[in-house]
A and B are shown apart, each in its own frame.
Chain A
Amino acid sequence: MIPLKTITRAMYVPAALFLGACCCNKPVARQEQPPAPAAPAEAQAPVKSVKLGDIFFDFDRSMITAESEAQLKTNAEWMAANKGKGLVCEGHCDERGTAEYNMALGERRAQSAKESLMSLGVSGDRLSTISYGEEKPFDTGHNEDAWAKNRRVHFVEK
């Protein structure tokens, strides 16, 4: 543990010295902060074209629709481009049906999304699932427009 820390610190020193040229009054403790954003910025660049997006479902269904397949491929590409990242697949439902049934349905949607991403080459240990049932609607309206937006799996980086 200590040697690793020492090495990490040693790597920060040149960067800190470099930054020090313009911020010479910064405290020394600054050296222990995470590195300058240079490296992540590089990794984020391709993400602009490959963006995580939600997938949507039919009423009382947890099957992946044809329209969702393209988005799942994109999400799988994002995972390939962000090797260090994991994803939480959040299953959501519209307000119709019962809260407790929808908790179960939301989990099945999340599970479907996870399995689909795994079939596209994403390792299962980078994926987790959670169901919010009908508890966190994206759109609080009470019509099919709102419901369609709420029957979804939302993907969150972790």
Chain B
Amino acid sequence: MKTVSYSLIRTIFALFCLVLLPSTLRAEEVREYIAISKEGSGRIAVVLDKIAAKGGKESEWAGSLDGTIQGGLDFTGLFNLMPAPLNIRSAQGGALNLGAIGSIGADVFVGGRVSAQNGNPALEMQVWDVTGKLLLSRKYGGQESALRDIGLRFCADLVELLTGKRSVFGTKIVFVSNRTGQKEVYLCDFDGSNIRQLTNTKSISLTPSVSSDGRFLAWTDFSSGRPDLYIRNLSTGSTVSVKKQGVCISPAWRPGTDECVTTLSHEGTQDLYLVKANGAVGRRLTSGHSIEVSATFSPDGSKMAFVSTREGPPQIFIQDLSTGAVRRLTYTGSYNTQPSWSPAGDKILYSSLQKNGEINIFAINTDGSGLLQLTSGSRNNEYPSWSPDGSMIVFSSTRDGSRKLYVMNADGTNQRPLLKMKGEQQQPSWSVRN
């Protein structure tokens, strides 16, 4: 009965949507179509036409947008991008010959035009499927200085349209680099561009983490001579410190709150504590004489996965924050650390120091099933962190000598360097849009 009424509601809703958006967006249908055509292929085949423009400034914008859109879509690893075939239009500026797209094995055609409106770029994009159906037609505008953002907003819409999921576009990554000779915290865009130095402690800065709303940055540094926790409000720039005797390491924000969890040892043992963004130390979450470190929260903030030596060498455990109930997650491998809980809530990434001396990244379901090794034969692969949309993973690797940042798709495919930067890079943490 429940199922019937639910599907009825869905049908009514779908019909309502069809009436409301007659010719542009039928995402449900599109996704289904792509899912079917995609079976066995893995990537969505997209014909990406050059953005049309009338010359001058507009053509400059078009060239820049072409680069942004192609680079952005390429970065996701979701698409097989193809240039438009010569016979795509019947004549110069003529109607689209969508049959030509189907004949080269593409799923969709993406094209558009940019023009000046009050001196600022206005981008009009269209997405068609091979049957001649217009899937999306949308305008994107903004200041000329935000041209890249305009292109990426379209990329985000395209990913959402074709996969039904949010995209990585607009997200940011914090990490540690010793580029200046000392370890400082840096921030870059999802694709490794736009690198900015966030701290200038001239000491050792470690384990940065940004809150889910992008407001707060927490990290540990030795600027006082001791490892203290610092929390900066990224919009106001004001910073508070948590100075406690002993260690203070690896803060992680609890989604939807202004509190993070971190390891402190001022009460004699190394345990996990909740700490407010204003620096107030709150509830102690663990107790005992073992090392408790590197916590990560479930998306709803109700549970945390963390590293503990309570049963011997480091393993991953999961604790329910309201009941305090704890269970061990990892049983394979004798040195498992650095858990990262997936945005969908179903998987946890971690790194494992293996007998052959390599450190590799694994994914495991939160119930302990479905163990999957994502890296191998490439020295030390550490500190995995999910992209906020769950489609990608950032991590550090020594595969090419010194420690650098890499990204891969969630299934371990498409591993590649994230950015080019002097010195070593490590401890990446992928944060939501801000």
Once A60-B335, A131-B227 are accepted as A-B contacts, the answer to whether A104 and B353 lie under 8 Å apart by CB is no
A103:B247 contact, CB within 8 angstroms:
yes
Which of B204, B225, B337, B426 is in CB contact (< 8 Å) with A101?
A: B337
Query: Is B270 among interface residues, defined by CB-CB distance under 8 A?
Result: yes
Q: Within the assembled complex, what's the spacing in Å between the Cα atoms of A131 and B427?
A: 19
Chain B interface (Cβ < 8 Å from any Cβ of A): 183, 204, 206-207, 220, 222, 225-227, 246-247, 249-250, 263, 265, 270, 291, 293-294, 307, 313-314, 335, 337-338, 351, 353, 359, 382-383, 426-427
Q: Please indicate the chain B residues that have their CB under 8 angstroms from the CB of A89 in the complex.
A: none
Q: Please indicate the chain A residues that have their CB under 8 angstroms from the CB of B353 in the complex.
A: 96-97
Q: How far is the CB of A93 from chain B (nearest CB, A)?
A: 12
Query: Is A125 among interface residues, defined by CB-CB distance under 8 A?
Result: no
A99:B291 contact, CB within 8 angstroms:
no
Interface-centre pick from B225, B265, B359 (highest chain A CB count, 10 A) = B265
B207:A104 contact, CB within 8 angstroms:
no
**Residue on A with the closest CB to B313?**
A60
Once A103-B247, A104-B291, A104-B293 are accepted as A-B contacts, the answer to whether A98 and B351 lie under 8 Å apart by CB is yes
Main DSSP-derived SS at the B contact region: strand
Q: Please indicate the chain B residues that have their CB under 8 angstroms from the CB of A132 in the complex.
A: 204, 222
Q: Within the assembled complex, what's the spacing in Å between the Cα atoms of A75 and B314?
A: 32
The total of chain A residues at the interface (CB under 8 A) is: 19
Query: Is A151 among interface residues, defined by CB-CB distance under 8 A?
Result: no
Considering the complex of A and B, which 8 residue pairs feature the smallest CB-CB distances, nearest first? A100-B250, A104-B291, A103-B249, A98-B337, A107-B247, A100-B249, A104-B270, A135-B204
List A residues 78-110 near B (Cβ within 8 Å): 96-101, 103-108
Q: How far is the CB of A127 from chain B (nearest CB, A)?
A: 13
Q: How far is the CB of B222 from chain A (nearest CB, A)?
A: 8
5 interchain pairs, CB-CB under 8 A:
A97-B337, A101-B307, A101-B337, A103-B263, A132-B204
A98:B382 contact, CB within 8 angstroms:
yes
Query: Is A130 among interface residues, defined by CB-CB distance under 8 A?
Result: yes
Q: Within the assembled complex, what's the spacing in Å between the Cα atoms of A104 and B271?
A: 10
Interface-centre pick from A101, A107, A130, A132 (highest chain B CB count, 10 A) = A101
